[in-house]
Amino acid sequence: MPDKGTQQNSAERVRSIVAALEEQIVLGWLMPRERLLEEKLTQQFDCKKHVVREAIFELERMGLVDRTPNKGATVRLLSAEGVRQVYVVREMLETLAAEQIPLPASVSLLAELTRIQSGHATAVDTTDARAAFHANLSFHNTLFEACGNPYLAELIRAAAQKVHGARFFTAGSQPHLKRARDEHWAMIEALRLGDRVSLVALCRNHLGPSLVAYLSAIQTRSRE
């Protein structure tokens, strides 16, 4: 029977593989319908098959992977309607959170968001899509956690995660990354000024580009 240390190490390994594969899906390094081969992944991550299987199960739970009996796992191709529906939920949740953040924002919150966004801006300016992705996640997690409702913040994270597979059209796009960079700075300024109307509008409009890009790409592929 494995001891607690072994179980903990295994769980940590699963989490690290999930994070790595999630990143590859978001950045388009793993494309929709691409197969996730256990043998290849065990070699890539230098781990046992059961660790890879657990990671794939978690990715399926997150909505990033489809598993078919006797056929294995593939990166999920999100339907246009499914993505639209998730984005409707995201808009409701994120604007609700923006409406609850105490304004004007605290000095500590402004300092933390500024620190994170400085890193995001550097990543965008140096075309480091991987660093930009992680800084973007950190920025939004910190922003919406400031609403003071941890359950709402968790729902926002879960909803965003479900459509990570639709973000690869914008995750490496400089025009989209630059727009996100500028909107993040505008959110920080709205927080500083206590401008609720601008903050809510910025959070709502911030979602649009990735949704439009994905739907446009899906329509293009359907015509090919």
Per residue in 49-58, pLDDT (tens digit) is: 899 999 999 9
Give the tens place of pLDDT for each residue, 158-179.
999 888 877 766 777 788 999 9
Fold agreement (4-75, 80-223)? no
Domain boundaries, the chain: 4-75, 80-223
Q: Tell which residue, 219, 116, 139, 132, has the closest CA to residue 173.
A: 132
Residue 104, preceding peptide bond in cis (omega within 30° of 0): yes
Span 80-223: which CATH code?
1.20.120.530
Q: Which fold has domain 4-75?
A: Arc Repressor Mutant, subunit A (1.10.10)
Give the other-Cβ count within 10 Å of 117's Cβ: 21
Q: Whole-angstrom Cα distance, residue 8 to residue 63?
A: 24
Residue 78: DSSP 8-state: -
Q: What is the DSSP secondary structure assignment for residue 29, as one 8-state letter? A: S
| The model's pTM | 0.83
Task: Identify which of 215, 153, 221, 213 has the alpha carbon closest to the alpha carbon of residue 180.
Answer: 213
Q: Are 102 and 80 in contact (CB under 8 A)?
A: no
157-163 long-range contacts (CB < 8 A, ≥24 apart) are 159/86, 159/89, 159/90, 159/93, 160/90, 161/22, 161/62, 161/63, 161/64, 162/62, 162/63, 162/86, 163/63, 163/78, 163/83, 163/86, 163/87, 163/90, 163/210
175: which 2 tokens? 């025009």
pLDDT of residue 221: 55
Give which of 142, 145, 127, 141 is closest to 181, Cα–Cα.
127
- Is 90 exceeded by the pLDDT of residue 194? yes
The answer on pLDDT for 218 being more than 80 is no
End-to-end CA distance of the chain: 54
Tens-place pLDDT, residues 39-96: 999 999 999 889 999 999 999 988 889 988 878 899 988 888 988 999 999 999 999 9
pLDDT in tens, 95-134: 999 999 999 999 999 999 999 999 999 999 999 989 999 9
Looking at the predicted structure, is the pLDDT value of residue 5 above 70?
A: no
Confidence of residue 135 (pLDDT cuts 50, 70, 90): very high
Dihedral of the alpha carbons of 154, 179, 224, 36, in degrees to the nearest 10: -40
Residue 177: predicted pLDDT: 92
